[in-house]
Structure formats: structure tokens, C-alpha cells
Amino acid sequence: MHEAQFHAVPFEGPAPKILLLYGSLREYSYSRMASEECARILQMLGAETDTFNPSGLPLPDDSTDEKHPKVAELREKVTNCDGMVWVSPERHGAMTGIMKAQIDWIPLSMGGVRPTQGKTLAIGQVNGGSQSFNTVNQLRILGRWMRLLTIPNQFSTPKAWDEFPKGRMRPSPYYNRMVDVMEELMRFTVLTRDIKEDLVDRYSERVESAEKLSKRVNQPKL
């Protein structure tokens, strides 16, 4: 790995906070290892990273307890971050249920706070066999649905068992692509985090808010 070629992305103010989610609970989880590698890269680029461990997170709808400790932890981390990285294995041609459950527990709105809207997102997947893009395609759709600024680049790592000897990713074109994606995430995050509210300001929501305000202040006398 050519660490001399890592160039910290310049920014003003506090370090960008990046939250990483991964989609497998296996003891030897390649998506977790990939997320850990992404975190190391992001730290070298100047970011502050945090990773959510999905172990113990209840299934959506099986539990409606929004105060469940793991649900509350996930939502707090999402609310406090500037951007995210989602990495899932591909299982049966799709993202894992563990990955989807985490995303499903993140609401579009919590009171007056939209925890994902306007924040950045990088996506990646790991494969047990040949390279595929099914999972990143699905994650990109979900990122758009969650109103995240999903960056153009992405990574897909085939034969993950060969790319992570002893838990660390070996130097390869796949590693280089991962670095490219993290660099792009950092640049997009630095460029947009201070103006994210302007980027996602919507006429339809302003109209809706105005109507609610009008109904509240123009109630008939009791």
C-alpha cells in the first residue's frame, strides 16, 4: 500500500464524521472487514469514523420499540454523522437482511429532524464468488430513497476470501478502487455538509409547512 500517496482532503472546521454500516454477523465477516478497511482509509484522509455493530438489532415490525437500545444507538449515530458508508455482502443475488434491517430502522423524519436528508453516502459490496453489482445497485436505490447524496463511485470486491488474508485487505486494484471511493466520499462531504439544507430544500415541503402553519394560527375561536 502506497501510504505516501494518501492525500488528506482539506477542510475547515471539525473533521467530517462518517458512519459505517456493514451487513453480516459472521465471525469472519468480509463486509465488516471491508468497512474496517474503509474506516482506516477515511482516517488517513482526515475523517472521524464510527461503526455500528448490528448485532442485537431487532427485526423491523417484529419490534416496534423505537427506544430499544440498539435502535436508539443506530438513530443517534445516523443523526450525528455527516456521511455514511454502507457495505453489504451479496447473498442470493441481493443485499443481506441484516443490511436492509438497519436501513429500515432509519426513519426519513424524527420529529422536525431528517436524519439522512442531504448527507453523503458511499456504497460497496463484497462477493464470495465472481464480481457482481446487484447489491450496490440496490443500495444506490435505497440511498436515493433516503434522500442521501449518494456519490457516483462505488466498489465491488469479488472472491473476498482471497482479498482479506488475516483480516486485512491486500494491495490490489480492488483496494485501489476502495481508496478512490473513500476519497470521493470525503470530497463530496466537505463540499456539501455546510449547504446540505439548501441542496434538498423543496417547494412541496415549504408549501406543506405553510399550510400547517396557517391551520394552526387561523383556528376558529373556541
Average pLDDT, whole number, for the chain?
90
Q: How many Cα atoms are found within 13 Å in the side-chain-facing hemisphere of 87?
A: 29
Q: What are phi and psi of 22, to 5 degrees?
A: -130, 165
Q: Residue 26: is its pLDDT beyond 80?
A: yes
CA dihedral in degrees (125, 153, 192, 118; nearest 10)?
Answer: -50
Average pLDDT over residues 118-126: 97
Confidence of residue 38 (pLDDT cuts 50, 70, 90): very high
pLDDT digit string, tens, across residues 46-103: 999 999 999 999 999 887 778 899 999 999 999 999 999 999 999 999 999 999 999 9
Q: Residue 198: is its pLDDT beyond 90?
A: no
pLDDT of amino acid 218? 62
Q: Can you give the pTM of this predicted structure?
A: 0.89
Q: How many residues does the chain have?
A: 222
d(CA 22, CA 94): 14
Q: Residue 118: is its pLDDT beyond 80?
A: yes
Instruction: Return the DSSP state at 14.
Output: S
Confidence of residue 204 (pLDDT cuts 50, 70, 90): confident
Q: Residue 4: is its pLDDT beyond 70?
A: no
The amino acid at 115: P
Q: Grid coordinates representing 174?
A: 480492488
pLDDT of amino acid 61? 83
Residue 147 zone, left/alpha/beta (φ > 0; ψ -120 to 50; rest): left
Q: What are phi and psi of 91, to 5 degrees?
A: -125, 125
CB 142 within 8 A of CB 150: no
pLDDT of amino acid 170? 94
pLDDT digit string, tens, across residues 123-173: 999 999 989 999 999 999 999 999 999 999 999 999 999 999 988 999 999
Confidence of residue 111 (pLDDT cuts 50, 70, 90): low
Which has more pLDDT, 3 or 127? 127
